[in-house]
Amino acid sequence: MRRTSHETDACPIARSLDAIGDWWSLLIVREAMGGRRRFGQFQKNLGMARNILAARLRRLTELGILQTVPAADGGAHHEYELTAKGHDLLWVLVALRQWGDRHQFPEGPGPTLLVDRAQRLPVKPLELHAADGRLLGPGDILLLSVD
Amino acid sequence: MRRTSHETDACPIARSLDAIGDWWSLLIVREAMGGRRRFGQFQKNLGMARNILAARLRRLTELGILQTVPAADGGAHHEYELTAKGHDLLWVLVALRQWGDRHQFPEGPGPTLLVDRAQRLPVKPLELHAADGRLLGPGDILLLSVD
DNA sequence: CATGAATGGTTTTAATATGAAACCATACTT
DNA sequence: AAGTATGGTTTCATATTAAAACCATTCATG
């Protein structure tokens, strides 16, 4: 009767969700991308229960999304930082951000803007391209089984 | 003591996760994108408990991600279909799929391939572009507060 | 060096969510 | 008219979440 696992599903979406498909994990990753590295920073910024945060940090570390490193300031406590696997969640976060901006702000545009660092202009929606570079829309893709 | 809500957070990522950040919702959306429309189809394909499927379908409908329509075959039961808001989750699913394919298949490449319909070649990783079209990497973006 | 406060958790307890199975009403088939 | 499929709801046991209290180290201060 524990939570149904999708860890070994054939579908990569299911496997991803099994790893980070809960209410908190991606918010922790978001904070980590914003430069937060310590237990207290995560807890304060997210306002979440400390036991749950501890459990999530442990799990994200086991999954290789975060890693613990000796404190940067030589202090005794360790810090959490994103691995390459964790950093690569950026595109998931961007997709969630863009969907949220488009559909979850009925009261008007949200208070944050994802911009291009050079020009400070809002970025375009994520794009999917074919191998040859053509821009693909929802109708232009197909899921193949390689079995 | 209920689940902490992020429904009114300033962050669009948090709002998105509040809506669909659980273990099942996006899998239901995935099934809907694959053409599944009926309770029994979702239940069979996902193998999930019927009561929680019912609860999720209700919630996704309330959120405007699914809508119920009279059965296509004139039958008495209704069917579920994606709204525009629901269809727009495609990019989130693609992002999760690509991350999963890259990091959650330690045993080798997964059994599915997202391909371009015209040429049947695997699509490229999602791309983020600046307003002027420049391809942006993780270091090229910035989050601005508009307060 | 002793004391107090901050940090990084763990433990305890209560409420809620999940999962499995049984149940039930309606619709459809024969 | 009887039997079966569909689309749920109910019940119950277990797991997860949240809040708060607790505790051990570490760090700063006198």
pLDDT tens digits, B21-32: 999 999 999 999
Q: Which residue is nearest to nucleotide C27 (CA to C1')?
A: B76
Which residue blocks in B49-110 are alpha helix, DSSP H?
A: 50-62, 84-87, 90-103
| Token pair in block for residue A101 | 């901006």
Q: What is the pLDDT of residues A41-52, one digit of tens each?
A: 999 999 999 999
Q: Is A135 on the interface with B (CB under 8 A)?
A: no
Tell me phi and psi for residue B141, to 5 degrees: -120, 165
Q: Which tokens is B65 given? A: 């991600």
**What pLDDT is stored for residue B42 in this prediction?**
98
Whole-number pLDDT of residue A113:
97
The pLDDT confidence band at residue B1, using thresholds 50, 70 and 90, is: low
Is residue A3 exposed (0-12), middle (13-18) or buried (19+ Cβ within 10 Å)?
A: exposed
Q: What is the pLDDT confidence band of residue A74, given thresholds at 50, 70 and 90?
A: low
Tens digit of pLDDT for each residue in B54-111?
999 999 999 999 999 998 776 778 999 999 999 999 999 999 999 999 999 999 999 9
Amino acid at B83: T
Chain B nearest-CA distance from A73, in A, is 24
**Which residue type is seen at A46?**
L
First to last CA, chain A: 31
Instruction: Give the span between the Cα atoms of B78 and B56, in whole angstroms.
Output: 16
What is the pLDDT averaged over residues B121-130? Answer: 98
On the question of pLDDT at B120 being above 80, the answer is yes
What are the pLDDT digits (tens) for A90-128? 999 999 999 999 999 999 999 999 999 999 999 999 999
pLDDT in tens, A126-137: 999 999 999 999
Chain A nearest C-alpha distance from B76 (Å): 30
B6 in contact with nucleic chain D (CB within 7 A): no
